[in-house]
Structure formats: C-alpha cells, structure tokens
Structure 1
Amino acid sequence: MLKGLNLAYGYGNITLFEGINIEVHPGKFTVIIGPNGAGKTTLLKILAGLLKPKYGTVQLNEKEIFLLPAKVRARMLAYVSQEPETLRDYSVWDTVMMGRYPYQGFLGLETNKDFQAVKKAIETVGLAGYEERTLLSLSGGERQRVYLARALAQEADYILLDEPTNHLDLFYQVKILSLLKDLAAQGKGILAVLHDLNLASFFADKLYLFSAGKLITGEAKNVLTFENIYKAYQEPALVVNHPVLNIPQILPLIVNRVSDGKKKVHIIGGGGMAGSIMLRESQQGAKISAGVLNKSDSDWQTAKALGAEVVEEEPFSPISEESYQRLLEVIKKADKIVVAPVPIGPGNLKNIEALLEVEPKKIFIVKPEEMEKRDYSGGRATYIVNSLIKAGAQRYPEA
C-alpha cells in the first residue's frame, strides 16, 4: 500500500495543507479532486517521492519512500506529470523505452523483455505505428499518451498521474481512464488527479476531495454532495443521481440576471418539479425563496445552488408545525407565489394549505386543471386549488 501520513506542505508562512492522510490500495482506482490551487499536484508529487513534505511521512509497502534507492522506487511506482517537459525531440519509441531504465544495468543495454514491454505499452495507448514519430511532431494529446505508455512500460505496482486526460478528446479520455480502471482491476494501485467531477464519479473506486486544506474521502455518492462541492469550490452546482448508473452527476448552474432582484418570488415544489421554474424566475431577476422542501431533495439542491432562502424540513419527514409557521412568514412577504406541478399528499399538504393565508391574486399555479391527478390528500388539495382559482389565482404560463 502507498500511504501518506499526517502530511503538511506550505510556502514560507503560508500553509497549503496539513494533517493529510491518504491511502492508495492495490486493485483500486483512487482519484484526487478539488479546486485549482488546493494542493492536488503538490500532494501527488509528495506521494511520488518527488517533493518532501513540511512534515509527515510517505510509506510505500511499509517503507519510507524517501529512503528507497531511485531504481528500487521506480520499479515500484511510476509518475506521469500533467505537463511533462519535452527537453529533446526524442522518438516515441525512445521515450517509452525510458520507462525501462529501472530494469537496465550499468551499460543500459536493452533486453528482449524491454522491447516487448515497450511494444505492448505503445499498443495499449493506441499509438502503434507512431514509434518513429518525434515528440514535437505530435499533438498535445498524443504526447500525453506517450508519457502514459512510458509509465506502463515501467511495470510498476503503483501509477500516479496528474491530469492524465489533459489535452485528450472525449474518446481518449474515456479510453485512458478505462485502461487505468482495467489496470486497477488487475491489481495495480492507481492514483490520479482529475478536474472533471463526472469522470471522477464514474471511474473512481475512492475519492479524495480537497476542501479548505483538508480531504473529504469516500465513495462518490458520499463525497460529491451539494454541500461538499459548494464548500470546496465556492460555486453552486446541481447534484443529480444518474438514473441508470446510480452515481452522482454534477451540473453547474449559470444564472444571467436581467433585473435587480427586488421582486420576491416564492416557489412551492419538490421532487425536481420546480427546478426549471426557479431558474426561470431567477434569470428574470427575481429574488426567490422556496419551500417547504425536504433537505437533499433535488429542488432543495436547486434552490440552495441559486442562493434562495429555503424553508426546509428533514429528509422524508412531513411538514412540521414549526416549518409551516416559517413558510407563512416567507410567503406573506412574497410578491408572487408559484406552485409547481408537484404531487400533494398528507406529508406536504401544508404547502397548499398555507396559500389560503395570502392574497389569491399573487398566486400562480402550474396546470391547475390537473391538480386532481396529482392529489393524494383525499381531495383536500384539489378543493383548495379550485377555490384559489375562483378567488383570483392565475395559471402560471409555461415556458
């Protein structure tokens, strides 16, 4: 196992991170994610033995990595940097052959095993036929694959990669990450720094998210939450569950406001039925609020991502009297109330009953004529909606 124990690093009086513990297990694909400048590359270099920490230790198979001879360490661990420096215009073959250095003797003579390892590595990354091409004649993505091939030729138990999909198109991003996943399945320990959260969610067995100098760790479903992402990146994003793969997918939210946000709009929704309404009203310049919504509901995430005031309830809980009173306070201050086409049952009926306490003319209901189809409250919700329409509530215009 490759382990970093209580690692710290900084520049002068500035601490980049401290108290970092990380493990890379054989047979697992581990990924480090986080915002720019968080210390991902620095941590990777420390784990590779290329940079000494301020304090803390790195162990490779229970041995202190900085005490291992260079060739011994190179047989155990390979490192691929984000932007390898091309000092000379070597051929693809010669560059990949450099990965065999740990196995060569004093004279650097190449064996048949070296040739076979290089040939296999080049074929694996899809560069067969490029052997005589020089590095400077290749695109950035092609060079990136050459450096990955060099690491594969090294035949190390652990491979550390800084942005291995850098410069690659979508096809080769998936191909390279699939290759790394296969290598992990064959028993190698793979650690990669990635910026794409969705690729990380799909491929990683374990994630380490840099957040405020600390690491949040676990499976994607536990790490890639709205709260964790917002804390780490200081930007809102929707986190939705992939309907087939059952993994979190991250969708950034970009809101272009067209007015000053003085108009207050409260939105009643749930289960993702109000997301587009929130975005639409926000883009039109409204200051939005939402609720009552259960925490972690997709509409709750959208509202939080848009910076809305949210009247919230615990997950899977009915609306409490406390939340109901809070809802009344919020909707009475609203200039407009929009009711999304959400199913209504005993657990969220108070959202509809609260509408009886405000002026009907400022209430806008999406498809009120279909309320009966989504009414699971014994008809109470339908009765209230019909009464509000008769009293002056309006149909919310569809986009």
Structure 2
Amino acid sequence: MSATTILQIQNIHMAFGQNELLQDINLEVLKGEILGLAGPNGSGKSTLLNIISGIIKPQHGNIKLDNDSINVLSPKQRALKVAMVQQTPSIPYYISVFDFVMLGRNPHLRLLQWESEKDIEVAIRAMELTNTDMFCNRRLGSLSGGEQQRVAIARALTQEPTLLLLDEPTANLDIKHQLEIMELVKKLSEQGLTTITALHDLSLASRFCDRIALLHSGKIMSLGAPFDVLTKENLEDSFSVRSLVYKDPITDLIVMNSFSTMNNEETVNNSQKRIHVICGGGSGSRLMYHLRDIGFTVTAGVLSEGDSDYHTAEVLDIVFPHELPFTAIKEESHNYHMDLVAQADCTIITETYFANSNLLNLEAANNSNKLILVEDSDFTARDYTGGEASSIYSALRKRALVVRPKDLLKEISQL
C-alpha cells in the first residue's frame, strides 16, 4: 500500500438541533487503503460518508481530497473524484444494466454530449470487474439484490473516481454475495483505488479492511488495525455486548462472538466473587465462559499449552499457571496454583482426567475455601495414576458439594 495521504478529514463537526451527529472527527486516509467505518446504529457512519461525498456540508471543519477542499468543488468536479454507493441505491428498474452503468460517465460529458467509444470502454471494463457484463442487456428490475449492488458499484467505477464510498455494501446480501462484494473491493484496492466503507458486519470489516475507525456517539472511539480496534473492551463500550475476540489459529482471521447484552446489575453482584476452575481437556471451557459472562472473576488450575481449556482461558483473559505439553507440573506452577485456590471463594473441579503429570492440580484443591465436585460418573474411570488420584479425590469428596453437570449452574447462582 502506498503511504501517500489522499484524503484529510479535519475537525469535522455536525449537529441537528441538540443532537450531536459528529464531533471532532480527524482522519487521514492513504491511497489504495480500505478504511472501514464501524459502530452501532446512529454512531455517525452514514453522516460521515455523506459529508465526505459533499452531499451535506459540515457545520465546522474541512475535507481535502488530493489537497482540494471538497466544499469548494462543484457537483461535477466532486463526481470526477468521488463516487458513492448508498446503502439502498436508487435503482430505476425499467432501464437496462448497460444504460444504468453508463450514467457514471455523465460527469465526464458536456451538456448534450454523446458518449464516446472511450466512455463505452470504461463502462464495459467496470462491468467486467464487477462480473455484471453477463447481464448488461437485462433490465435492473430483473436482477437479485446482490446483482443490483454489483451494478451500482459498476456505475460508481465508471466515474473513474479517486475515492469510492460504500454505505453498507453487504446489507441484506447472503454470504456468497457478501464475499463477492468485499473481494471486489479488495481487488480494486490492489489496483490503487481508495475505499471508505461503512460495515455492520465486523467479521467482514476485520477481514477486508486495512484499518477500522470505530465510531460511538459521533466520535472516533478507536482507529487502527482491525485486531487493535475490535477488542472485547471496545465492543463492550460501543455496542454494550460481551464478546470473545481472538485470532483463529488456522486462518489467522479475527473471530468475534458476541454472546450477551450487558446486564450491569447481575455483573455487579458477581464482580466481587472469585471462582477457581480445575479442568483440562475441554471439560472447563463452557463453564469458564459462563462464569465470565455473568461477571465472576475466574481463575484456573495449571493447564498445558495446546489444551482446549488453555485456549479458552487465554481468549477469556483468565489467569492461570501453565506448562509445556506432556510435562509434569513444576513446583513454581504448583505454588502459584495453591495461591489462586486460596484466594477463590469457591473452587470447582470438572470431570477432567488425572494422570501423574497433572496430579498436583487435584492436590491443590485441598487449599480451597469451598469446593464443588462436578460428577456424573465414577471417578475411577478418570484416574490414570494407579489409584493415587482416587485416594485424594475420595478425601476431597467428604467435604465437598457434589453436583451433577445439569445442576452446577443452579449451585453457582446461589454463591
């Protein structure tokens, strides 16, 4: 990507009556960059796009494109530099695809001037890029929503703009057409076209955008690379939802799972309580997730790198000691684990397996204040120590609350 700054947005402010739509917006956009605008409804994404395009004028601030102020350009001059595709493009259903795409050449023509061969070639090239040339003679009203969106982008490309603005280009499209649109945008970026796009789908934004500006209440909350902006803290602050955010180990793509709205009363009630989970092999993942969801401070026992519970604990930012795979728990990790158990209001042992390598996890439970054993089958089936683990477990069981998996959440709610 070139480091040349093509667009400067300086101190933009916009209000409607007492409603502040945009406040102190400052951005620089690079040539060939895909900048995503993200944020909840009403955060100012569409308003900002309309100001950049020159459709509306801000009350304060200035926008420069190639060092020219947008506000002093005539509509025709702006159309030579900026093309915009609205969230719901105005589609005249009765005209052909080709005639609609050719409308993008109007800024290049004088009054009553006919299109030249060059104009037609530009339109055909735009349709080829968007894979719309195959139905150039069909009427717009006969196309699907995804096809109409691609045609609208083809018309915008026919303007030969310096800057392409897209307002929710994937809205109401199925997964296939969403990917087609965003892959097209990426292809155009590689050819040097700068794009600013508002997107509700954060997964698409993280995958295809070079940078993301996260807006909230008319202000830029965060600006930067997708993984730096789309953090669980930012998603909670902007969308008021709890989320898991992590990189997929196979694709290296950002994975975001928003799993509940914020329940402040429940979270506050649980926020002072600590629950420690001794688990492994995936036996504790859903439990740790649920405990964090309802506001508990959660810690975990020693986990080995590569264990699915290890991955879950990392994603959830849970504190836990760890060891390399297939190695015994070291004294340092064991002592740290003992401290975590002692600090917890309650320790839960899940239905995990115990071998000589992780036996100290079970011994650490002796340090617990309150102990819950999750048990749905005979423990001996999970004992790979020749009986030593069963002996320790039997002693713990005498003072513990033993619950079946289906009853665990009920017991937790009473803590």
TM norm structure 1: 0.77
Query: 1 CA distance for matches of 2:116 and 2:236?
Result: 52
Amino acid at match of 1:291: T
Aligned residue for 1:328? 342
Q: Give the drift of 1:291.
A: 1.2
Contact 1:371 1:385 in 2 (8 A): yes
Deviations, residues 112-166 of structure 1 (Å, cap 9, x unaligned): 0111111222232222242233333333222212111101111111101001112
Over the aligned positions, Cα root-mean-square deviation in angstroms equals: 4.3
The residue correspondences of 1:160-309 to structure 2 (distance < 5 A) are 160-212=165-217, 213-254=219-260, 266-268=275-277, 273=282, 274-279=284-289, 289-291=297-299, 299=312
Aligned residue for 1:379? none
Deviations, residues 186-223 of structure 1 (Å, cap 9, x unaligned): 11111111111111111111111113432311111111
Query: 2 CA distance for matches of 1:61 and 1:153?
Result: 20
Deviations, residues 12-54 of structure 1 (Å, cap 9, x unaligned): 1121231111222112111111111111111111111111122
Aligned residue for 2:328? none
- Tell me the SS of whatever aligns to 2:8: strand
Sort the Cα spacing of 1:185 and 1:166 in 2 relative to 1 into closer, same or farther, 3 A.
Answer: same
Identity %: 29
Sort the Cα spacing of 1:302 and 1:208 in 2 relative to 1 into closer, same or farther, 3 A.
Answer: same
Contact 1:266 1:338 in 2 (8 A): no
Contact 2:374 2:403 in 1 (8 A): yes
Aligned residue for 1:95? 100
Structure 2's unaligned 5+ residue stretches are 1-5, 303-309, 324-331, 407-415
The reply on whether 1:72 has 2:72 as its aligned counterpart is no
- Tell me the SS of whatever aligns to 2:100: helix
Contact 1:78 1:158 in 2 (8 A): yes
Contact 2:341 2:367 in 1 (8 A): no
The reply on whether 1:364 has 2:374 as its aligned counterpart is yes
Amino acid at match of 2:100: T
Amino acid at match of 2:286: S
Sort the Cα spacing of 1:92 and 1:303 in 2 relative to 1 into closer, same or farther, 3 A.
Answer: same
Aligned residue for 1:376? none
Contact 1:360 1:391 in 2 (8 A): no
Query: 2 CA distance for matches of 1:79 and 1:372?
Result: 65
Contact 2:109 2:115 in 1 (8 A): yes
Query: 1 CA distance for matches of 2:14 and 2:360?
Result: 53
Query: 2 CA distance for matches of 1:128 and 1:242?
Result: 37
- Tell me the SS of whatever aligns to 1:362: strand
Aligned length: 373
Query: 1 CA distance for matches of 2:48 and 2:7?
Result: 13
Task: State which drifts further: 15-24 or 40-49.
Answer: 15-24
The reply on whether 1:57 has 2:62 as its aligned counterpart is yes
Sort the Cα spacing of 1:322 and 1:154 in 2 relative to 1 into closer, same or farther, 3 A.
Answer: same
- Given the alignment, which residue of 48, 53, 58 partners 2:53? 48
Task: State which drifts further: 212-221 or 111-120.
Answer: 212-221
TM norm structure 2: 0.75
Task: State which drifts further: 53-62 or 135-144.
Answer: 135-144
Structure 1's unaligned 5+ residue stretches are 305-309, 374-381
Aligned residue for 1:155? 160
Contact 2:292 2:316 in 1 (8 A): no
